[in-house]
Chain A
Amino acid sequence: MARAVVNVPPKAKRGDIIEIRTLVGHVMETGFRHTQTGQPIARNIITQFVCTYNGAEICRSDFSPAVAANPLLIFTTIATESGTLEFKWTGDNDFVMTASASLAVE
């Protein structure tokens, strides 16, 4: 039941810098933990995040095991035109999560 939450203002003026806040549900198992009996727990993390704005990449990130569980990433972009922001997280064990948000620019 992993999910993602993205927060983009629904509208903005052309040229405004808007803040984009993203949260994705993921355990981000580091690969450095062990069970009580000493068995290693395999790494299971998100490795990459990409955000596109009407198809153009505006932000990309490489996550390591040092990114906390349920990763949060907040960044900005200039509101250039109305359209769609697409978000995609990929990682170990073929993990893929996507989200999208609409932005109206006047």
Chain B
Amino acid sequence: MRLVTTLLIASVAGLLIGRLDAHAGEVPLQDRRSGYEFMSPETRAMQDDEVANPATLWILDGESLWVRKAGTANVSCAGCHGDADKSMRGVAVRYPAFDPDEGRPVNLEQRINACRTGAQQAAAFPYESRELLALTTYVARQSRGMPIDIKIDAQLQPFLERGRASYERRQGQLNISCAQCHDQYWGKKLAGNPIPQALPTGYPLYRLEWQSLGSLQRRLRNCFNGTRAEAYPYDAPELVELELYLMWRARGMKLETPAVRP
């Protein structure tokens, strides 16, 4: 990881010398392309095939967890929600969503944990734990193929703006912003791989680099490390705001969960 990070720093620094004053606009809606389109045909085949896609292992775990009774309330997800393929269809494409109790947006992982602690009276699953990843992927998978449906109302607007500001802000020792790579240089190569457009259409996903399945927050924290900035901790509101902005960027695009990415 160190080696890759170091090569990444060197590559990005080289890429941006002389272009640090450029300002970029968002990718126009009609020019948006999923990260799927930037991958090799072999990696795409891995995503498309249920047996070849390692995320299937997590989905099977999620399926088991869905029917497992938990907490002092001794109730399973199925106890309230019945069959996930019916009740959870259309849910993941609306997240992050505004939570009136919290007074702020929450992502799908946090929503699941709210059920854990609230309805099930059980301990929350730690962020990025196998259980939380399995359940989140299982739930999100029920919306595969549906268009991402983030609608911004007056309540969500300030959080969207904060997420967007985060995306456009220069940060880290490299002093670059997300926008500079993903709005301005998408399609060009960095450390041998094409830069995608920062459209999180397939999370949680199996990342070849991780050799494991992970959340969007894990990916975002990798990006912070990549710019040599301190990453926000898991569950941080700043990360959820950024997730909200990024999912809104991908509005209308089909959900691919569970995706595979390099």
**A and B from one complex:** yes
Mask: chain A, 26-67; 1 = CB below 8 Å from B; 0 = not? 011000000010000000000000000000000000000000
Would you call A23 and B212 a contact (CB within 8 A)?
A: no
Which segment, of A1-9, A75-83, A87-95, faces chain B?
Answer: A1-9
Q: Are B57 and A21 in contact (CB under 8 A)?
A: no
Q: Does B2 contact A (CB under 8 A)?
A: yes
Report how far A70 CA is from B212 CA in the complex, Å. Answer: 8
- Indicate if B211 sits at the interface (CB-CB under 8 A): yes
Tell me if B134 is interfacial: C-beta within 8 Å of chain A: yes
Instruction: Collect the chain A residues with CB atoms within 8 Å of residue B50's CB.
Output: 5, 7
Report the minimum CB–CB distance from B47 to chain A (whole Å).
13
User: Do A70 and B54 touch across chains, with their CB atoms under 8 A apart?
Assistant: yes
**Contact yes or no, A5 B212, CB < 8 A:** no
**In the complex, A25 has a CB within 8 A of chain B:** yes
Write the residues of chain B forming the contact surface with A, with a CB cutoff of 8 angstroms. 2, 50-52, 54, 56-57, 60-61, 130, 134, 211-212
Contact yes or no, B212 A3, CB < 8 A: no
B211 lies within 8 A of A68 (CB): yes
Pick the most buried of A36, A68, A70: most chain B CB atoms within 10 A of its CB.
A70
Can you list 29 A-B pairs with a CB-CB distance of less than 8 A?
A1-B61, A2-B57, A3-B57, A3-B60, A3-B61, A5-B50, A5-B57, A5-B60, A7-B51, A21-B51, A21-B52, A22-B51, A23-B51, A23-B52, A23-B54, A23-B56, A23-B57, A25-B54, A27-B212, A36-B2, A68-B211, A69-B54, A69-B211, A69-B212, A70-B54, A70-B57, A70-B211, A72-B51, A72-B54
**Residue in A closest to B54 when the chains form the complex, CB atoms:** A70
A76 to B144, CA, bound (A): 30
Q: Please, how many residues of chain A have a CB less than 8 angstroms from a CB on the other chain?
A: 17
Shortest beta-carbon distance from A39 to chain B in Å: 14
* Beyond A5-B60, A23-B52, 10 additional pairs, beta carbon < 8 A: A1-B61, A1-B130, A6-B51, A23-B56, A69-B211, A69-B212, A70-B211, A72-B51, A72-B52, A72-B54
Please indicate the chain B residues that have their CB under 8 angstroms from the CB of A21 in the complex.
Answer: 51-52
Question: From residue B209, how far is it (CB to closest CB) to chain A in Å?
Answer: 11
What chain B residues lie within 8 Å of A72 (beta carbons)?
51-52, 54
Question: Which chain B residue shows the least CB distance to A22?
Answer: B51
Residues of A within 8 A of B134 (CB): 1
A residues near B60, Cβ cutoff 8 Å = 3, 5
Q: How far is the CA of A103 from the CA of B167 in the complex (A)?
A: 53
| B63 CB, nearest partner CB in chain A, Å | 10
CA distance A13 to B60 in the complex (A): 30
Interface residues of A in 8-22 (CB under 8 A from B): 21-22
Collect the chain A residues with CB atoms within 8 Å of residue B130's CB.
Answer: 1
